[in-house]
Amino acid sequence: MPRHSSLVFVFFFAFLFLTFLAALTFPAFGSAQTDSDRPFSRFGIAIKTSLLGAGLEAATPLTARSDLRAGFNIFSYDHTFKEDGVAYAGQLRFRSVEAHYDWFPFHGRFHLSPGVLLYNGNQITANSSVPAGNTFILNNTTYVSDPSDPISGTGKLEFVKAGPMFTVGWGSLLPHHRHFSFPFELGVIYTGAPRTAINMGGSACDSTGQNCLDITSNSAFQANVQAEQNKLNKDMSAFKFYPVISAGFGVNF
């Protein structure tokens, strides 16, 4: 199954599962609600854009003051750059599924929304290369890419696959007396510290272009690779929370 189709399947499965749980949790509220506020009596959908990418959301009422909302997000971006003599072809891929309990404490547009990032497939990957005979620096050590077996490699930065989130916002996908809405919200997701992994292959020579060795069997080179990976992980260890800012356009029926 293609990746995008899998995300759509996960989204609808999560949405149906959470609505089933909500139906078991909130049956007593039905008698105090109007017809339009009864659980699962209406549905709203929205397209949105956020720091998680472009997305689609769906919502249904649970009580007079709360809705169940779920959605998925997708974003892709490619970029090439060069650092310390190494050329990188980077790919940013955002793929995520989220669910929220929207609570409207004042019967207005303002809401508090505890939620969960059910699937976090956000990651950065990169293919690296050093042209034959070119110099590059790794952990403050200068090498030359072997002309007969140039250096190449891969790198990845990824997050834990799920995490709690909390947002506050204005607007509902299920406004009364209107078919359209323009929801906006902001908040944070706990993603944990992202982790990096670096793999490199080929042969490297010393700074004079001599003494070329296969880097996979060169313990000194591998120690420098590990040191670079540890440095990146240490630099990223403070980034355990990811901000959320989103705006969208919704319709309900």
Assign 27 a pLDDT band (cuts: 50, 70, 90): very low
Beta sheet of 135-138, edge-to-edge order: 135-138, 141-145, 203-205, 213-214
Kindly give the residue spans of alpha helices, DSSP state H, lying in the chain. Answer: 3-25, 219-236
Which one is predicted more confidently, 4 or 188? 188
234 φ/ψ angles, rounded to the nearest 5 degrees: -65, -40
Q: Which pLDDT value is given to residue 33?
A: 55
21 has pLDDT over 80? no
Q: Which pLDDT value is given to residue 34?
A: 66
By CB neighbour count within 10 A (0-12 exposed, 13-18 middle, 19+ buried), where does 51 fall? middle
> Of 27, 114, 122, which Cα lies nearest the Cα of 72?
122
Compute the mean pLDDT over every residue in the chain, rounded to the nearest whole number.
88
Assign 95 a pLDDT band (cuts: 50, 70, 90): very high
d(CA 99, CA 17) in angstroms, rounded, equals: 11
> Of 117, 114, 87, 89, which Cα lies nearest the Cα of 103?
114
37 has pLDDT over 90? no
Q: Please, what is the Cα angle at 191 between 68 and 63, to 5 degrees?
A: 10
Q: Which pLDDT value is given to residue 35?
A: 64
d(CA 35, CA 93) in angstroms, rounded, equals: 42
Model-level pTM?
0.78
Question: Contact 171/182 with Cβ under 8 angstroms?
Answer: yes
Kindly give the residue spans of alpha helices, DSSP state H, lying in 68-120. Answer: none
Assign 15 a pLDDT band (cuts: 50, 70, 90): low
- Which residues are CB-neighbours of 175 under 8 A, at least 6 positions away? 109, 181, 252
121 has pLDDT over 90? yes
d(CA 109, CA 16) in angstroms, rounded, equals: 25
18 has pLDDT over 60? no
Indicate left, alpha or beta for 108 from its phi (over 0: left) and psi (-120 to 50: alpha). beta
Assign 177 a pLDDT band (cuts: 50, 70, 90): confident
| DSSP-assigned beta bridge partners for residue 111 | 169
Question: Contact 36/61 with Cβ under 8 angstroms?
Answer: yes
